[in-house]
Structures are given as C-alpha cells and as structure tokens.
C-alpha cells in the first residue's frame, strides 16, 4: 500500500517494481494489495504495479487483494472517508478488474475490505463460493471482521483468514483469537508496527506530508504522544538489545511467536527496512517472554493510535470511526 497510497507521495513505478522484486529475492512470498490503493488520478495504481512486478515469478508467490470499498475523493481531508459497497454485482466487477491489473487468472486470497452493513455476510460469502468454484479466487478473507459477521460468512463459505489491525499498541482483536482457533482461521496483522511508530525512529518534530501522508493526522505521532509512549519505546529497545535485534523486529517477533497462525504484513519503501523486517522471522521469543511482554503491555501507558478512516454507510450517510484506544 505504502508505495502508492497513504505514506507520502507515491513512489515512482519502476522503483516500486525493483523494490517488490528485491523483496522476493530476500524471501518474501506473500504480497498484499487492494484495488483502492492509489491516488485520485490513478486509484488502482498499486494492483497494476504489483502485477507487473510479480508477473515473471507469479507461480512462486501468493497475492492477496481486496474489494468492497472506494475512497471519497471529493473530501479535502488527507485521510479520505471510505464508501462501502459489497453488492454482488460490484464484487464481480472488482474481481475482473483486479485479475486484469494483477496479470493473473486467479487471486490467491481475496478479502472483503470492510464489512458492508447494507449487504448480508451470507450474500458476500455466496459470491465468494461462486468465484472459488470458477477458479478466479482460491481463498477468501475478511478485513476488520467481528465474530458475528465472521461466523455467518464462514458457515456459507469457509473463511481462510481475517485481516485486522494489530500491534503492541492495538490489541482489542485478541478477543477474536479463540474464535479463530475454533474455526481454524488465520490472522493477518496489518499495521503490525502501529504505522511505523514501534520502529522507534520517529521523534517529536516529524513533519509528514499533509497532502499524501496519513501519519500527519495520526494521534501516535503527535509530540505529546511521542512523549507519552517513551516507556514503551524504552522497553522495546531494551528487549531488542538483549536479542541482538531491532525494536521493529521485536514488535513483530512478539506476534509471530504468540501464535503460529498470525502473519504480520509490514510495509516499507526502503530496502534496508525490507531486510530488517524479514529478520523478524529469525527472532525467537519463548512463550514465557511473550506472556511477560503481554503483562507489560497491559500496564505501560500509551497514547491513542490511528484506528481507521471514517466510513460512509448506506451509500451515503457517514459513520465516523475515530482513533483507537490502546485497548
């Protein structure tokens, strides 16, 4: 996502292609995109560049994409509202567009990007079952799912994974873990470093692009929040030093070692960060260390964290989702 959307002005396409191919050389095999990662002038940019970058190695990688939202580009805010639309005919149009841009005849993992209250989960799941039968989609998932929606959808067409926001600073979805274990559904963690905050590389005086960069409007990057989160960052640095790792690697090793079915999807546009993030898979934290970390995270004071864009439901009316609390 970050190459084309939400983390500053888009990266030049050829540079993006080189970076994605370099990621594969480092061992990355799972690439996450969506039909809406782009700009007002090129709203589908990310799928197109991912398709070009991975075309020659398509049989060696897994591609995830998403349907069901579009951005309100009439908004003047940097963090555009989401317009939900998971009607069957829209899903059909979306999958055909994604297949074309991704230069493939199937999508390995296809997510409903957000739950649409105007469309029953059973209806969405029926469309997914049809697409799987047709071979256009191999597996499907739901992003930002709750238990009720997940159970209803899963009963019609088995769900492979849920993709929810999850990090040391945002842990409310741990309440869903027993359900995932019961139903044998995986968990893909997006924003596993709290939009990069847990790398410890951002200070009080960061200046983010107010036109393109969502971080300019995220509560964890304010000067007050940076100060409030110093205890957390200090703890991360100390544990990282003990393990010969970086804070970013510890923040992901914590979830990798917590459950074998948790898959973080870190994003970056820098080659050195690609290598660093990959190294998180080599960091081992014992069950006791993970449990101790959980206890510490329950006690350490933290700021609010960005919790998602405002959402327009009913094809129009606006329901605002604000920054998430630490819980």
Q: Which residues are catalytic?
A: 37
Helices in the chain by DSSP H: which ranges? 13-26, 45-54, 88-102, 121-134, 147-156, 177-183, 223-228, 230-243, 247-256, 271-278, 287-299
- Look at residues 276, 307, 146, 299 and name the one whose alpha carbon lies nearest to residue 214: 307
Question: Cα–Cα distance between 205 and 50 in angstroms, integer?
Answer: 33
Question: Cα–Cα distance between 137 and 156 in angstroms, integer?
Answer: 16
Which residues sit opposite 66 in a β-bridge? 111
Per DSSP, the residues of 273-303 read HHHHHHGGGG----HHHHHHHHHHHHHS---
Question: Cα–Cα distance between 290 and 244 in angstroms, integer?
Answer: 17
Token code pair at residue 115: 């739950």
- Look at residues 186, 183, 182 and name the one whose alpha carbon lies nearest to residue 155: 183
Q: Would you say 166 and 190 are in contact if contact means Cβ atoms under 8 Å apart?
A: yes
Which residues sit opposite 90 in a β-bridge? none
- Burial of 135 from C-beta contacts in 10 A (0-12 / 13-18 / 19+): exposed
Q: How many helices (H) and strands (E) does the chain have?
A: 11, 11
- Kindly give, in sequence order, each residue whose CB lies less than 8 Å from that of residue 131, ignoring residues fewer than 6 positions away: 91, 95, 110, 137, 140
Task: With H, G, I as helix, E, B as strand and everything else as coil, classify residue 55.
Answer: helix
């Amino acid at each position: 996502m970050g190459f084309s959307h939400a983390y500053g002005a888009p990266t030049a396409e050829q540079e993006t292609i080189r970076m994605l191919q370099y990621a594969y050389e480092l061992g990355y095999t799972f690439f996450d995109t969506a039909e809406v990662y782009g700009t007002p002038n090129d709203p589908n940019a990310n799928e197109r560049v991912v398709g070009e970058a991975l075309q020659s190695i398509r049989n060696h990688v897994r591609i995830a994409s998403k349907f069901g939202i579009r951005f309100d580009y009439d908004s003047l805010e940097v963090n555009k509202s989401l317009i939900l639309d998971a009607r069957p005919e829209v899903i059909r149009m979306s999958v055909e567009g994604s297949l074309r841009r991704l230069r493939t005849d199937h999508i390995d993992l296809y997510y409903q990007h957000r739950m649409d209250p105007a469309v029953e989960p059973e209806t969405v799941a029926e469309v997914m079952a049809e697409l799987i039968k047709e071979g256009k989609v191999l597996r499907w998932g739901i992003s930002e799912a709750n238990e009720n929606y997940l159970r209803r959808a899963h009963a019609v067409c088995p769900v492979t994974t849920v993709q929810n926001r999850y990090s040391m600073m945002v842990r409310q979805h741990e309440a869903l873990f027993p359900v995932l274990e019961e139903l044998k559904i995986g968990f893909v963690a997006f924003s596993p470093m709290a939009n990069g905050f847990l790398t410890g590389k951002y200070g009080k005086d960061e200046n983010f692009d107010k036109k393109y960069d969502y971080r300019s409007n995220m509560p964890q990057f304010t000067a007050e929040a940076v100060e409030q989160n110093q205890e957390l960052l200090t703890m991360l640095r100390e544990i990282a030093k003990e393990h010969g790792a970086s804070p970013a690697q510890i923040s992901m090793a914590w979830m990798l070692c917590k459950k074998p079915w948790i898959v973080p999807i870190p994003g970056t546009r820098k080659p050195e960060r690609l290598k660093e993030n990959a190294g998180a898979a080599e960091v081992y934290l014992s069950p006791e260390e993970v449990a101790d970390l959980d206890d510490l995270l329950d006690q350490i004071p933290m700021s609010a964290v960005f919790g998602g864009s405002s959402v327009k439901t009913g094809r129009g009316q606006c329901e605002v989702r604000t920054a998430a609390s630490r819980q």
